[in-house]
Amino acid sequence: MEAIIRYYNQYDESSRLTTDHSRRLEFITTTHVLDQHISNDHEILDLGAGTGIYSFYYAEKGNPVVSTDITPRHVQMIETKADELGMNHVRAKVIDARDLSRFENGRFDVVLCLGPIYHLTDPRDQERCIRECIRVLKPGGILAVAYVNKFFILPHLIQKDRKYLEEPWVSKILDEGRIFSHEVPGFWTDAYFHSPSEMEQLLTQRGIGKIANVATDGVGQYLRDMVNDFSEEEFKLWVAYHLRTCSEPSILGMSNHGLFVGRKVD
């Protein structure tokens, strides 16, 4: 986890989902799906919150939010912003998503796990994280898990350098499903990738009933330059198209990011 903390200590996470159209689409899609299932009185646990873009989105609607991240710098930024906005219903804590022992069973109406899973490179840690998310969730509560789609990664890498179009890299991504930052210079940070069906299996086998599994950026990353050049009116139309098609399995398999939303069955 040290490599991930070092990365985010120098990365401008606060602007990641707002800098251009193609990045905004992930936020727009995620909130569009979640808003259908989150009421203003639901208490939310936001794990891997970054600098709190989703925490503050829901806090502005009146939701009490516990906003957490493993990077102390991010937590300090959330605390500072909450103070500036007078939002005493936002509490920020440095927490490793694999250990939520400070929270009692069935505490939260909603758990947002929108950051941790794709940074947990050991499947056993992913299982610990999911078990903890489910434990602190009320019966009937909503769990949302974001993941990076493994079928997107190789096309992404070979756009940067064709040297990755080799059998060992194909096998590594499809079979092993993870990359460490030292293996690909300039590549993000340590990361794990799931296929959409793998993510569904991971959650439904643990008692989470599927509500939705959507492509949060769809094919937009393949058309990034064009999408970012759209006028606001053109982008509005693109968003409308995207929201009507983001649950289509063939598009879900092409998207960079996916979002699984489910309900705790018991």
Give DSSP secondary structure letters for 124-186.
Answer: HHHHHHHHHHHHTEEEEEEEEEEEEBHHHHHHHHHHH-GGG-SHHHHHIIIII-EE-GGGSTT
Tell me the torsion sign for CA atoms 137, 5, 17, 75: positive
CA distance 32 to 51: 20
What is the average per-residue pLDDT within 142-147?
A: 98
pLDDT digits (tens, 9 = 90+) for 81-92: 999 999 999 999
Tell me: pLDDT of 123 over 70. yes
What confidence score (pLDDT) does residue 1 get? 54
What confidence score (pLDDT) does residue 8 get? 47
Query: Please, is 7 exposed, middle or buried when counting C-beta atoms within 10 Å of its C-beta (0-12, 13-18, 19+)?
Result: middle
Residue 7's pLDDT band (cuts 50, 70, 90): very low
| Prediction pTM value | 0.90
Tell me: pLDDT of 237 over 80. yes
What confidence score (pLDDT) does residue 218 get? 93
Domain 2-149+193-264 in CATH 3.40.50.150? The answer is: yes
| Cβ neighbours of residue 120 closer than 8 Å, sequence gap 6 or more | 97, 98, 126, 129, 192
Tokens of 142: 């909503």
Nearest to 265 by CA among 207, 213, 200, 212: 207
CB atoms within 10 A of CB 161: 11
Tell me: pLDDT of 24 over 70. yes
What confidence score (pLDDT) does residue 6 get? 52
Tell me: pLDDT of 193 over 50. yes
Q: What whole-number percentage of the chain has pLDDT above 90?
A: 76
Tell me: pLDDT of 186 over 70. no
Residue 220's pLDDT band (cuts 50, 70, 90): confident
CA distance 263 to 266: 9
Look-up of token digits 């930052």: 181
What confidence score (pLDDT) does residue 151 get? 94
Domain limits, the chain: 2-149+193-264
What confidence score (pLDDT) does residue 263 get? 98
Tell me: pLDDT of 13 over 60. no
What confidence score (pLDDT) does residue 16 get? 55
